[in-house]
C-alpha cells in the first residue's frame, strides 16, 4: 500500500470528493422521529443542502435556516435564533428541533447550547420541543464527521441511564434507506429488540402521501434514543467515523468519541465496532456478533442468502478476477468496498477520499487483514487528482458516487454508483450496500457492468455470454 505523493503541495481543491459537515448532520437528524433540523447560518447553507439531498432521495427535505443577516454576523445571531425557533414551532410543531452550526456561526463564536438555554428560559412554562445540537463547522472534517457528530449528540442529549434492557443499539452509519430497512429485517428475524439510530428509512423514502406531511413519518423517537443508554450492547459500523479530520481535532482537543464509544464509556453499554458488513467476511462478522449477543443462531433465511452469495461468487468469479478497480468516497464506505472486492479477486488499485483522518491506510489493513499490495491511497484527495492519477493506471471500473462520472466517461469504463450522492440515476434510496443481500446486489451490478462492457466493446455482438 502506498500513499500517493502529490506533485504540488495542496493549494486548492479541484472537484471535491467530500461535502460539508452540516449536510451529514442533517441526514442523521432526518432519521429522528418528529425532528426538524435548523441550520444556524446563512440561508444558502440550508437551501444547498436541501437541494443536494432532494436530488438524491427525491423526497421533500425540509430544513430551516436562521437566515443570518449582516447584523447577526456582527452582533450575534441570538435574535434570529429565537425568532427562528418560534417560527419553526408555529409552522411545524416538531417534537425535536435539531440545530447544526455552520462555518459562519462557529467563526463568530455562537454558543448554541447557551442560545437553547436562553430560549428555554424566555419561553418557560410553554410546551417546548426537545432540543439537540451538533457542532459542525464546515472547515472541519467532512459530511461524515457531521453525520457521526449528530448521532453522538443524540445519544448524549437524550440517553437516560436506567436498569439494563435486553435491547441492542445499532449505529449503521451513512447508508441508504433500503440498507436501513434490511438491517431492521435482520434484527427482527433474529428476534432482537433494537434501537436503530438514525433511521431515515421512511423519512427519506416516503410512500406517496394523501396529505402533505410537514414532518414525514418515521425515525427513531427520543424515547427510544433515551433507551440507548440502557441497552445490552451496541453495534456500530465503521472504522473512521467522525475522525475524518483527526489531526486538526487533536490540535483543538476536540473529543472524537463515536456514539458507541460514548455509551460504553458513560453507560457501560458494550460496544462492538466493525467495518461496514460488505462482502462475506465482514457480513459474517456482523452475523456472528448478532449470534453472540442474542444467543441465537442465524435464521435460515440469511444462511440461505449467504449460500446464494457464495454460489454467485463462484459462478462469476472469472468475470471479476483481476479487474482493476478504483474506489472513492467516504473512508468507511471505501474500507467496506475494498474488503469485498478483495475477497472476489478484484484488484483494488486506488482508493480516494476527501477526508483526512490519516487513518485510511491503517484501517484498510485492519479490515482486509493484510497489507494489500498495489493499492495507492489518496486521502485529502479530490476528483481532479483522481483523474490525473487514474489515467495512467488502466482501471477497468470505478465504484463510488455520481460525481466520478466525468472521469469514467473520458476513460470509457463502467461506473458502479454507490453511496451518496447518486444524482444521475434513479432509485438511489433503494441502492443496497450491506449484508449478504446488499453484497449480492452490488456483486450482480459489478458483474453485469463488466459483461455489458465486454459485450458492447466486442465486434461480434454476442447475445449469449
Partner 1 sequence: MDAHLSERKAQIITKGTGESAIECSKQSLAGSVSQRACVFCGSRVVLYPITDALHIVHGPIGCAAYTWDIRGALSSGRDIYRNSYSTDLREKHVIFGGEKQLYQALSGLIDELKPKAAFVYSTCIVGLIGDDVNAICNKVSREKEIPVLPVQSEGFQGSKKDGYKIACEALLKLVGTKNNKAVSPISLNILGDFNLAGELWMLKDYYEKMGIQINATITGDGRVDDICNAHQAALNVVQCSGSMMHLAKEMKEKYGIPFMKVSYFGIEDMSDALYEVATFFKDDSLMTRAKKLVSEELGKLLPALSFYREKLQGKKAAIYVGGAFKAISLVKALRLIGVQTVVAGSQTGNQDDYKLLTELCDEGTILVDDSNPNELSAFVKETGADIFIGGVKERPIAHKMGLGFCDHNHERKEALAGYEGMLNFAREVYSSATSPVWQFTKLSS
Binding to partner 1 (CB under 8 A): which residues in 158-197?
A: none
Compute, in degrees rounded to 10, the torsion defined by CA atoms 421, 68, 127, 60: -30
C-alpha dist (Å) from residue 286 to 178, 217, 313: 18, 29, 20
3 state SS of 88: helix
Interacting stretch for partner 1, rule CB under 8 A, among 41-49, 286-294, 316-324, 332-340? 41-49
Q: Is 72 in the site for partner 1 (CB under 8 A)?
A: yes
When binding is defined by CB under 8 A, the residue of 128, 165, 189, 206 that contacts partner 1 is 206
Q: Which of residues 226-245 bind partner 1 (CB under 8 A)?
A: 245
Q: What is the DSSP letter of 148?
A: H
When binding is defined by CB under 8 A, the residue of 31, 65, 190, 282 that contacts partner 1 is 65
Interacting stretch for partner 1, rule CB under 8 A, among 104-112, 150-158, 217-225, 283-291? 104-112
When binding is defined by CB under 8 A, the residue of 4, 76, 92, 361 that contacts partner 1 is 92
Beta partners for residue 383, in sequence order: none
CA–CA separation, 171 and 174 (whole Å): 9
Q: Is 48 in the site for partner 1 (CB under 8 A)?
A: yes
When binding is defined by CB under 8 A, the residue of 3, 122, 160, 248 that contacts partner 1 is 248
Q: Is 52 in the site for partner 1 (CB under 8 A)?
A: yes
When binding is defined by CB under 8 A, the residue of 140, 157, 256, 385 that contacts partner 1 is 140
Residue with smaller CB distance to partner 1, 83 or 371: 83
When binding is defined by CB under 8 A, the residue of 18, 33, 181, 306 that contacts partner 1 is 18
Strand pairing report for 64-65 and 96-100: unpaired
Q: Is 426 in the site for partner 1 (CB under 8 A)?
A: no
CA–CA separation, 54 and 74 (whole Å): 32
Residue 165 CB partners (closer than 8 Å, separation 6+):
193, 227, 230, 231, 232
Least Å from the CB of residue 211 to partner 1: 8
Tell me the number of residues near partner 1 by CB under 8 A. 81
Beta partners for residue 39, in sequence order: 65, 100
When binding is defined by CB under 8 A, the residue of 1, 33, 42, 201 that contacts partner 1 is 42
Q: H-type helices in 111-267, by residue range?
A: 112-122, 143-158, 177-190, 222-227, 246-251, 259-267
Residue with smaller CB distance to partner 1, 15 or 448: 15
Is-cis flag, bond preceding 198, omega within 30? yes
Amino acid at each position: 500500500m502506498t500513499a500517493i505523493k502529490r506533485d504540488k503541495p495542496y493549494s486548492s481543491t479541484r472537484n471535491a470528493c467530500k461535502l460539508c459537515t452540516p449536510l451529514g448532520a442533517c441526514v442523521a437528524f432526518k432519521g429522528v422521529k418528529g425532528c426538524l433540523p435548523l441550520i444556524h447560518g446563512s440561508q444558502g447553507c440550508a437551501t444547498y443542502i436541501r437541494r443536494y439531498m432532494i436530488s438524491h432521495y427525491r423526497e421533500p427535505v425540509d430544513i430551516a435556516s436562521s437566515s443570518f443577516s449582516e447584523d447577526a454576523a456582527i452582533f450575534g445571531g441570538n435574535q434570529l435564533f429565537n425568532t427562528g425557533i418560534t417560527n419553526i414551532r408555529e409552522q411545524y410543531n416538531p417534537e425535536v428541533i435539531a440545530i447544526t452550526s455552520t462555518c459562519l456561526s462557529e467563526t463568530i463564536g455562537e454558543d448554541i447550547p447557551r442560545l437553547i438555554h436562553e430560549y428555554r428560559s424566555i419561553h418557560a412554562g410553554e410546551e417546548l420541543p426537545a432540543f439537540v445540537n451538533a457542532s459542525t463547522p464546515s472547515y472541519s472534517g467532512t459530511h461524515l464527521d457531521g453525520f457521526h457528530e449528530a448521532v453522538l449528540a443524540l445519544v448524549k442529549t437524550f440517553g437516560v441511564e436506567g436498569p439494563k434492557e435486553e435491547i441492542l443499539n445499532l449505529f449503521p452509519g451513512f447508508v441508504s434507506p433500503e440498507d436501513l430497512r434490511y438491517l431492521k429485517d435482520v434484527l427482527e428475524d433474529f428476534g432482537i429488540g433494537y434501537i436503530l439510530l438514525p433511521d431515515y428509512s421512511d423519512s427519506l423514502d416516503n410512500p406517496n402521501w394523501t396529505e402533505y406531511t410537514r414532518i414525514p413519518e418515521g425515525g427513531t423517537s427520543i424515547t427510544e434514543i433515551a433507551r440507548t443508554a440502557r441497552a445490552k450492547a451496541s453495534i456500530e459500523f465503521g472504522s473512521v467515523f467522525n475522525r475524518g479530520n483527526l489531526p486538526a481535532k487533536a490540535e483543538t482537543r476536540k473529543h472524537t468519541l463515536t456514539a458507541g464509544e460514548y455509551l460504553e464509556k458513560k453507560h457501560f453499554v458494550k460496544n462492538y465496532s466493525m467495518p461496514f458488513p460488505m462482502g462475506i467476511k465482514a457480513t459474517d462478522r456482523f452475523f456472528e456478533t448478532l449470534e453472540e449477543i442474542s444467543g441465537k443462531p442465524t435464521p435460515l433465511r440469511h444462511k440461505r442468502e449467504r449460500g446464494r452469495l457464495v454460489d454467485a461468487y463462484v459462478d462469476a468469479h472469472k468475470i471479476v478476477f483481476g479487474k482493476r478497480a478504483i474506489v472513492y468516497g467516504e473512508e468507511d464506505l471505501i474500507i467496506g468496498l475494498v474488503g469485498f472486492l478483495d475477497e472476489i479477486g478484484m484488484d483494488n488499485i486506488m482508493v480516494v477520499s476527501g477526508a483526512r483522518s490519516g487513518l485510511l491506510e491503517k484501517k484498510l489493513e485492519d479490515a482486509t487483514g493484510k497489507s494489500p499490495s498495489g493499492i495507492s491511497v489518496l486521502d485529502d484527495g479530490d476528483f481532479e487528482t483522481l483523474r490525473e492519477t487514474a489515467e495512467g493506471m488502466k482501471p477497468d471500473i470505478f465504484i463510488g458516487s455520481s460525481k466520478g462520472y466525468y472521469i469514467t466517461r473520458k476513460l470509457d469504463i463502467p461506473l458502479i454508483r454507490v453511496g451518496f450522492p447518486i444524482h444521475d440515476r434513479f432509485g438511489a434510496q433503494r441502492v443496497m450496500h450491506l449484508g449478504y443481500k446488499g453484497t449480492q446486489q452490488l456483486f450482480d451490478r459489478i458483474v453485469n457492468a463488466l459483461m455489458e462492457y465486454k459485450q458492447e466493446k466486442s465486434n461480434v455482438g454476442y447475445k449469449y455470454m
